[in-house]
Structure 1
């Protein structure tokens, strides 16, 4: 059965509930994973999503910060959460479909502005978080699993608008990209987006600071869809809906899609 999944850093699910609804109506993915919901779970407008067919949810939230949610048209049970780097923040939630497929939804720390853990504790927290991802999935290699989310790292040279200019910018420094690659390898994860779109510049985030983000096109691919090889072999249809970044009062991220034969 083909199952279409999307991941999107929504940057406040209550503020942008209308955009979420619009995406669900236009694209109708079976599953939508949201990050940076910035809301306690009991304040997420679940009834709106329920009324258009997304009746199953797994979510973790906190007031004003972080927050992750999985909305599904397919039957899904809450499969728990992981507290990496001992941050105690709402940065991960998992859902399990009826066939046993597990979906991990992550919001990795952004890491602040200075790529130095001594000068910037937030950068150290980010590196520790990704290191814990590596340890966890390396110790217990997953199967029939999909990992998505705003991982806040653009690992490849063609995942950023200028590799040379961003080498010392948080999200594309060598220490970050090496850490993310190590986490991917430890878990045996396949980068489904790049499996489907192997060549060329590819972005999912454009800064609010750019007066004309579309013309400047100084993007980064921070949002990812990975899968274990047993599911990646049947993946297809990867795409990034760049036009959503241009919707009224948008998130600075665009949704990323992939379809799996589950």
Structure 2
């Protein structure tokens, strides 16, 4: 059973509803994690997504800021999780029930919007940066508990607001002191990944020498010409699911760059990953 996973920081789901619906029609992912939906739960546009075939929807909303939502064609149930030390709506965790001809199993789908961290990479003078570090620590603690209980079928997606690899940014040297690529953030994200042996599917399937970006600033006059991007958006899988994505090869992972030049786009583009599950 092949499942297409997707993640997208949409930067207001109501403002860009037509774009999300277009993406869903064109790509037909089974599951989509949206971040920065910027609305409360009762304001979320459930009806259009259900009409598009996404019957199962879980939302964590917040007025004007943050927010995450997971849309699924497959049955899923919400997991009681808490990651954000400040109580922001920054994640939705679900258990997805995957059933097909050769498959009858479930996995957990964790949809994250990790704090951006402000402009100054110093937790002593920047509370937003400290918040980001605390959020990463909370994630690490949560997954330590999860794996200790034998829950080892894990998928993590979302806007991590960290570009970890030197080829995840347009200039490694120029961005070393810029929040999202500082050594401290990269080190903490690497610790989270290594502690639980998560696989970053982008770097599993694409050589480290390849430049990969999923975000481009609104400040750029000609986004694609300057191409000063960063890979802030990620799809990770736990060890038991590594072979499920590895078997799909390089074509199984895709950054949908053209979405960045759609009319009034998000500054992020969606990412998809195909994963094959078998009993």
Counterpart-to-counterpart distance in 1, 2:234 and 2:12: 19
Other-structure match for 1:248: 263
Matches within 5 A, 1:26-105: 26-84=26-84, 86-98=85-97, 99-105=105-111
Q: Distance in 1 between matches of 2:106 and 2:3?
A: 14
In 2: Cα distance, 1:133 partner to 1:73 partner: 26
Name the structure 1 match of 2:135. Answer: 129
Q: Is the 8 A contact 2:118 2:126 kept in 1?
A: yes
| Cα deviation digits, residues 11-36 of structure 1 (max 9, x gap) | 00011111100000111111110000
Q: CA deviation at 1:229?
A: 1.4
Partner of 1:174: 183
Contact map agreement 2:212 2:230 (CA 8 A) in 1: yes
Runs of at least 4 residues off by over 6 Å: none
Contact residue 137 and residue 186 of structure 1 kept, 8 A: no
User: For the aligned residues, what is the CA RMSD?
Assistant: 1.0
SS of the aligned residue for 1:239 comes to strand
* Structure 2, unaligned runs of 5 or more: 98-104
Deviation string, structure 1 residues 192-240 (Cα, Å, up to 9, x no partner): 1211112310000000011111100000000000001111211130010
The CA distance in 2 between the partners of 1:35 and 1:6, in whole Å, is 11
Number of aligned residues: 261
For 2:138 and 2:198, how far apart are their aligned partners in 1?
A: 15
Q: If the length of structure 2 is used for normalisation, what is the TM-score?
A: 0.91
Using structure 1 for the length normalisation, give the TM-score.
0.97
Q: Secondary structure of the equivalent of 1:114?
A: coil
* Structure 1: distance between partners of 2:155 and 2:236: 6
Are the counterparts in 1 of residues 113 and 160 from structure 2 also a CA contact under 8 Å? yes
